[in-house]
Structure 1
Amino acid sequence: MIKVDNLSYSFPQKDLYNKISFTLEEGQHCAFIGTSGSGKSTLIDIIMDPERYMFDGKLEIDPNCRIGYVSQFSQLDKTKETTVFEYIGEEFIKLQNEMTSICTEMETSSDIDTLLEKYQQSLDAFDAIGGDDFESNINKKLNLANLIKHKDLMISELSGGEFKLIQVIKEMLNSPDLMIMDEPDVFLDFENLNSLKNLINSHKKTMLIITHNRYLLNHCFNKIIHLENMELQEFDGRYIDYNFSLLQTKIELQELAIADNEEIERNEILINKLRTIATNNADASNGKALKARVKIQERLENRRIKEPFVDIKQPDISLATDNKIEETIALKVKDYSVTFDEMLLENINFEIKSTDKVALIGSNGTGKTTLLREIFKNNSDSIEINYDVEVAYLSQLQGEILNESNTILEEFFDAGFKTYREIRSYISNYGFDEEVIDQKIECLSGGEKNILQLAKVSASKANMLLLDEPTSHLDTYSQIALEKAIENYNGAILMISHDYYSIINCMDYVLIIEDKTIRKMSMRKFRKMIYASHFDKDYLEIEQKKKSVETKIALALKNTDFERAKILSEELEALIKLL
């Protein structure tokens, strides 16, 4: 369906791809992964509209291929006066109305042949998207997404997460040959994320989906395309098997690298000697010996670890505080209520201690973000923050915290940094190279903006963090780096999240919003709730064991204990089979 061959493309300030190649075949469900800012969304744009881009190499797409698309930035139009059913069935209803209008026109027109031709065109278009059963198909998809009860609601009444699912359903029912989605999971609550998983798995045609969501990656795909440092590789199989193959490659190559590095050093000395001899003595045999030795050196270099895929650099996220306080009540919320068009939260009460790490969860549209913002503003009589507590806030609306018209340099001068060198050194830990320091923030990817927010939050040295969907848009490597940073943080955290893994790996307990109120839930009960809806028995426990073994392998590799790493990889493989 799609064939990319030796494609290269560059922005004025950045090279994106260096002779990348892959194929996408009919019926494959392909996850497109890679670190934030590596060019995934741009490659999608090139596939969808190649005429807009000047690239080297070949891009072949079946000329009859119909592409459906769901953007990561789609916004709910609150003014749209149409029902959910009418919105999803828009194309079907339009074609139906066209055919009805043509039939009416035929009753009085003398030009029947032209009208018959127009009718046939509309009918062909209607049949191409499965028009005969469109009402039944809409109902099936709505049922699958657990949204059938919203069928007759106005679009304006939906939450952002519900609207995202409705967009996915609409594109699927228009029967594209290729369905492309760019981070469709961002900001979806637990139920909606599970619905998205069901929709993806029910779709029989080809899909190409950019995602960093570990739940979807582990449950929805049979092909992986991985873009890293301008290079790309493809893998036919599950994401979890792909990660294991990378780990095995890393163990093998690092073991080879120890011996290779020594041989490369010896070889380099010999090459320099042969070069000196060949320069001083033009004998042909000297030149041949030099060329042979250079070829050996090239072969040794090629055997080294392929950094783009098996040695991916994680950002060094460090959530530090200069003002650690003794265990006390950091935040007290008492009889807090909030109303928009209707009551969202009513007389809620909770306390957070100065070392608590708490997940705030609930369905889309239940008031989580509103509550977090109100705590940050701290101008309500119902919200009391300890005098010794300094608060920092990360927003899911990135422009709320970042001035997107600023360059990265300007943003950190505004944040209190004094010198160019200080800023350059600080943000390099977060994966921003010196050449992008003068880049406008608006030009960054969603993941890069979130990393930049985390860098600002960390620089504040606050002892209480309010984090609204901090893992959204982050690649999996950055998500894991953030989890480590949260584990090591010695202040209080209140975090809105729909990421199972981050909550289970980092949080002490959960505050869940239900029926306009809030209640505390232990991690044990949270796990039980998640199992009931989303996972097979013991899934998350196996994931935890898997994470523990991966950590041990990383330590063994650090200590160059390759035998232990190999034994542990066998243990890891056994756990993966259970998943």
Structure 2
Amino acid sequence: MIILKNIFLSFKNQPIFNGINGHINTKWRIGLYGLNGAGKSTLLKAIASMQPLEKGSIIIEKGISIAYMPQEVVLQSERSILAETMLTFTELVEAKKTVHELEQQLHKEPGNIKLIDAYANACYTVTHLEPEKKLAECQRILQGLGFGQQLESPVNSLSVGWKMRIVLAQLLLKKADFYLFDEPTNHLDIVAKEWFLRFLKQNNAGFLLVCHEKQFLNALCDRIFALEQGNGTFYNGNYDTFIKQKEAKTEQLAAAFEQQQREIAQLEKTINRFKAGTRATQAKSMEKRLEKIDRIVLPTEAKKVAVSFGTPNPSGKQVLKVTQLAHSFGNKLLFKNCSFSIERGNKIAIVAPNGAGKTTLINIIMQKIKPVEGVLEWGNNVTCALFDQDQLQSLDLQKSVFENATAVPNASSSVKHIRTILGSFLFDAEAINKKAAVLSGGERNRLGMIRVLLQNANFLILDEPTNHLDIPSKEILLDALVQYQGTILFVSHDQDFVNQLATHILELNGEKSLLLHGSYDDYIYQKEHLARMQDLPSGKTQQLPKKSISIEKHNNTSAKLLEKKITKLETDIKKIESSFETILYGTPAFDMAQEKLIILQKELEKEMAAWEACIENK
């Protein structure tokens, strides 16, 4: 158990924690929600005893082990990746050190009985700690995080992102009772994220997680802890459920606020009338009553404004055809046999591990570098706009946000329209005058995307546009790109973003490329099916199914029974979700409905898995 007891903290006279109370069961899997500056990272540091409080305390139950992963760690080491990661096992490291020291002493005193006994005991300790098992576990986690076979490379040869993967691997190897994760997916590609998600699902430890990816918060969390205006509130359920609860609560609070404002206005009117007459004593009494009213404060939320961009001039049906593209840097082959065709209206996500050549492919298409082999054939009337991964290279850092937006080449938007677009991407009247040099990473990316969309090109090429963006900013960007009526080729490590935007997935695997129709979930499903097809005996074939939410009818009796169960579960879930519109939030009825919903959702997931297994084994 972790207890937050009346904790207070402020920065520059701005309250961060304003008397937060609560308890955390170390088996809970909690998503930590809050707008930028709400204190998410600060709370993790406070629980990890790395941030002092002004008042209050955080009590951690005796015997509970906690592991903390910050957003950034300076890791300097001459050791290999594997050796550095193995340092996690401190008891084993110390035992091996003792063995080595005793070996040195025995070399000098070979007949010393005490040293021989001590050496035998030290060797037994090392064996008892199962170093081979720990080494294998270490290799498994490192490979899952994308290190492949290059585990003997020195740590100091790695980028910051890859060093953070070592820190994450060390943390997971600790097998703590409770984890504090501060944006652990920031430095993971989509493949490593998928592995990390599966790892956490299979792990029994609880955690408090800061993450800007809805997929993780929905798949992993059974609770959300929301930090708002210095207060903390627990909500049962995953992120999507939390948003529904929060919206309902906000509506109730807004209604109460309006009612209170009417009462205050009436009271003030009465006070002024009494003051003007002969009832001044009563007026003073009412003024005191007015001062004592506990005023309702509505939560500060970013207003969501509809994004409206012009319709670009259409390109020809075929936008780009790539044939047998290959590229390498020195002796390192990035990819070969890369062939695919992009048609008007396609929104294609490039999927590959870090270092597989995603950005290189984009640079070849944009003619920044020449390929070793291959041909690019452009369609008619194609106009391109590129979003660079590094916006520091694209923006004029000495100009303001507004000046950067109005300096876009080929833009035909009016100043009024540009101001509206800036506002829809969360740049208010004050923020548009900030110099680009002082913008955060997320703000730079939002400004860069505005510049891309204002070019009115019919083919957008986007290299990690979701980097550094929080969930509200991603939703704004997603809305804009879903509405966009041109063609998109993009790279993003946010699975939920890819799922909602992509019409196709382009996989780069080094030896060839593979273009599949559908979302990322469809891509994973089809990849798994293709793998099963490869395992079939020679001569047997199996039709590639299309995954669908709707349940197809099959003759198999077991499948039919499962279909009936699934249909009933889906109906029951819809009824409960509809009931939230009439049940008052925070009441026992609401809590009961919420618990029942979670049970039914888990049961539906189980029955769907059984149905798919039944169909595959038919």
Same fold (TM over 0.5): yes
Distance in 2 (CA, whole Å) between partners of 1:104 and 1:249 is: 68
Selected match of 2:327 from 334, 338, 353: 338
The answer to whether the 8 Å contact 2:505/2:519 transfers is no
SS of the aligned residue for 1:365 comes to coil
- Whole-angstrom distance in 2 between the partners of 1:399 and 1:528: 33
CA offset at residue 146 of structure 1? 6.0
String of CA shifts for 1:422-469, please: whole Å, max 9, x gaps.
Answer: 976653322234444565656655444433332332333333211223
Query: Quick one: distance in 2 between partners of 1:443 and 1:65?
Result: 41
Kept in 2, the 8 Å contact 1:88–1:138? The answer is no
SS in 1 for 2:366: helix
Amino acid at match of 1:466: I
Q: Which of these residues, 366, 377, 383, is aligned with residue 356 of structure 2?
A: 366
Structure 2 counterpart of 1:355, from 328, 345, 368? 345
Amino acid at match of 1:154: E
* Structure 1, 206-215 or 19-28: larger mean CA deviation: 19-28
Structure 2: how far apart are the matches of 1:6 and 1:420?
47
Equivalent-residue separation in structure 2 for 1:414 and 1:61 (angstroms): 54
Q: 1:222 Cα shift?
A: 3.5
Q: CA deviation at 1:494?
A: 0.6
Alpha-carbon RMSD across the aligned residues, in angstroms, is: 5.0
CA contact (8 A) 2:400 2:436 kept: yes
Q: Secondary structure at the match of 2:188?
A: coil
1:477 Cα deviation after fit: 2.8
Contact 2:86–2:138 (CA<8 Å) still a contact in 1?
A: no
The answer on whether the counterparts of 2:405 and 2:450 sit within 8 Å (CA) in structure 1 is no
Rounded to whole Å, the distance in 2 between the matches of 1:94 and 1:362 is 36
Cα shift readout 1:125-173 (whole Å, capped 9, x = no counterpart): x99xx99245424524654676499467334699998865543221232
Contact 1:200 1:220 in 2 (8 A): yes
Distance 1:421 1:18 in 2: 40
Deviation at 1:364, TM superposition (A): 3.1
Greater relative CO (CA pairs within 8 A, separation 6+): 1
Q: Does 1:320 align with 2:309?
A: yes
Cα shift at 1:376? 2.9
How far apart, CA to CA, are the structure 2 residues paired with 1:459 and 1:362? Answer: 29
Deviation digits for residues 171-210 of structure 1 (CA, Å, limit 9, x no counterpart): 2324556533222223534442232123324545553321
CA contact (8 A) 2:460 2:487 kept: yes
**Structure-to-structure mapping, 1:70-81, within 5 angstroms:** 70-73=69-72
Contact 1:244 1:573 in 2 (8 A): no
Deviation digits for residues 329-366 of structure 1 (CA, Å, limit 9, x no counterpart): 33333332210242222242333234222222233332
How many residues matched?
Answer: 531
Partner of 1:82: 80
Structure 2 spans left out of the alignment, 5+ residues: 530-546, 552-565, 583-589, 606-618
Give the direction of change, closer, same or farther, for the CA distance of 1:213–1:450 in structure 2 (3 Å limit): same
Percent identical pairs in the alignment equals: 22
In 2, Cα distance between equivalents of 1:41 and 1:408: 27
Q: Is the 8 A contact 2:72 2:164 kept in 1?
A: no
Residue 521 of structure 1: how far off its partner (Å)? 1.0
| Aligned CA distance change for structure 1 residues 424 and 518 (closer, same or farther; 3 Å) | same
1:538-557 equivalences under 5 Å are: none
Deviates more, 1:93-102 or 1:474-483: 93-102
Cα drift, residue 32 of structure 1 = 1.8
Contact 1:331 1:384 in 2 (8 A): yes
For residues 213 and 394 of structure 2, what CA distance do their matches in structure 1 show? 24
**Contact map agreement 1:319 1:486 (CA 8 A) in 2:** no
Distance 2:306 2:171 in 1: 38
2:227 aligned partner: 227
Question: Any residues of structure 2 matched to 1:350-499 within 5 Å, and which?
Answer: 350-377=340-367, 380=370, 382-385=375-378, 388-402=381-395, 408=401, 411-412=404-405, 415=408, 426-437=421-432, 445-499=440-494
What is the match of residue 506 of structure 1? 501
Inter-partner Cα distance in structure 2 for 1:235 and 1:192: 29
Instruction: Name the counterpart of 2:533.
Output: none
Question: In 1, Cα distance between the equivalents of 2:369 and 2:447?
Answer: 27
**What amino acid is the match of 2:282?**
S
SS in 1 for 2:30: strand
- C-alpha distance in structure 1 between counterparts of 2:355 and 2:186, whole Å: 14
1:134 to 1:104, Cα distance in 2 relative to 1, 3 A: closer
Residue 198 of structure 2 corresponds to: 198
Q: Which moved more, 1:463-472 or 1:520-529?
A: 520-529
User: 1:76, CA displacement in angstroms?
Assistant: 9.7
The amino acid that maps onto 2:469 is: L
Give the residue type in structure 1 aligned to 2:129: D
Quote how far apart the aligned CAs of 1:367 are. 1.2
Q: CA deviation at 1:379?
A: 5.7
8 A contact 1:69–1:180 mirrored in 2 = yes
